[in-house]
Structure 1
Amino acid sequence: MSSIRERNRDLILRAASEEFADKGFAATKTSDIAAKAGLPKPNVYYYFKSKENLYREVLESIVEPLLQASSPFNQAGHPFEVLTAYIRSKIRISRDLPYASKVFASEIMHGAPHLSKEQTEQLNLQAKHNIECIQHWIDQGLMAKVDPHHLLFSIWAATQTYADFDWQISTVTGKASLSDADYDAAAETIIRLVIKGCEVDEKAPAKSA
């Protein structure tokens, strides 16, 4: 029974992510979500109670990976290793959770009315911590004296564009969808721009045993 419940919840969440990303919160109908999920409309209310709760669950599905992507900053490390891992994690989110990423972007553009206070605090505290790490590396002479705020914003923009502006990317590349190799190339390109632009030594010191 639990596996059926989990399957149905996952189907509804995926369908809701697509509908909310395509139409926005106000214009999305629970009947359309149910139809896309291939389930009766009452199932949406059975599992999520309301459209508002479902929307918040979609946001939760992207907030946690965004916080997890910053985990390299949460332990001692060299900027080459940390920035490389962070960029790759951010690209994976755009590849694996494109619709939820669009929903999150729209939520932010509208002033984050549905993000909980806790989620907002978590995201802001993590961003501040990442910025402090970058500033610490700058103070240590491990990278160029760039503005750490704008470096972080640039990484966000470069990585999240592969989800949030996929139509434009598909139009320019002539591809209906990007392959894993395309996402790998995107990550490597962004990494190269950040590492070279910030004058980070690519030969990170070996970790002591």
Structure 2
Amino acid sequence: MAKIRERNRELIIEVASKFFAEKGFAATKTIDIANSAGLPKANVYYYFKTKQNLYRSVLESITEPLLQASEPFYENDDPATALEEYIRAKIRISQTHPHASKVFASEIMHGAPHLPEDIAAQMQDQTKQMCERIQSWIDQDLMAAVPPQHLLFTIWASTQTYADFDWQISQITGKEKLDQEDYDQAADLIVKLVLSGCGIQVGTKEKETA
């Protein structure tokens, strides 16, 4: 029974992500989400109580992996390894959570009117810690003196574009949907550009043992 409930919750969140991404919070109707999920409208309210709670769950479905993506910053002393793992994690999020990523991006672009304060605080705290970590690498001469905030802005823009601007990418590539090779190539290029721009084309540990 618990597994059925969990599957239903995940299905509703997945379907809701698409509706919120395409129509926004105000224009999305709970009945449309229920119909698309093949479930009674009552089930949506059973699991989430309100549309606001469902929207929060959609945001949590993307913010949780975004928060987890920063773990390489604290697990690695080598900035090259940390940045590469972070970039690849961000690309995977765009690949596996495209609709929720759009919802999050739209929320931010509109001034975060529905973003819960606790989630906003977590994201801000994460960014602060990542910037401090980058600055520590700069202070240790492990990478070039780049503005930490702007480095993160660049990484966010280049990785999230693969979810937030999928229509444009589809038009340019001629593909209805990117395949794994496309995402791997994107990650490889972004890693190369970022590491090169930061003056760390190879890991500092590799340099020491070479």
**Common fold: TM-score over 0.5:** yes
Q: What SS is found at the alignment partner of 1:205?
A: helix
| Partners of 1:62 and 1:203 in 2: CA distance | 29
- Shift of residue 204 of structure 1? 3.1
Q: Once the two structures are superposed, what CA deviation does each residue of 1:42-84 show, in whole Å capped at 9, x if it has no partner?
A: 1111111111110011001111100000011123420110000
After superposition, residues 1-209 of structure 1 pair within 5 angstroms as 1-205=1-205
Contact 1:143 1:201 in 2 (8 A): no
Q: Percent identity?
A: 63
Contact 1:143 1:200 in 2 (8 A): yes
The one-letter code of the counterpart of 2:155 is I
Contact 1:142 1:201 in 2 (8 A): no
| Partners of 2:203 and 2:142 in 1: CA distance | 11
Q: Once the two structures are superposed, what CA deviation does each residue of 1:69-114 show, in whole Å capped at 9, x if it has no partner?
A: 0011123420110000000000000000000000000111122122
| Partners of 1:99 and 1:160 in 2: CA distance | 11
| Partners of 1:195 and 1:26 in 2: CA distance | 41
| Partners of 1:104 and 1:58 in 2: CA distance | 9
| Partners of 2:19 and 2:116 in 1: CA distance | 21
Q: What SS is found at the alignment partner of 2:112?
A: coil
| Partners of 1:10 and 1:122 in 2: CA distance | 23
- Shift of residue 162 of structure 1? 0.3
Unaligned runs of 5+ in 2: none
**Quick check: 111-120 or 175-184, which moved more?**
111-120
- Shift of residue 203 of structure 1? 3.5
The one-letter code of the counterpart of 1:79 is P
| Partners of 1:162 and 1:201 in 2: CA distance | 24
TM-score between both structures, scaled by the size of structure 2: 0.95
| Partners of 1:121 and 1:43 in 2: CA distance | 31
The one-letter code of the counterpart of 2:177 is S
The one-letter code of the counterpart of 1:154 is T
- Shift of residue 201 of structure 1? 4.6
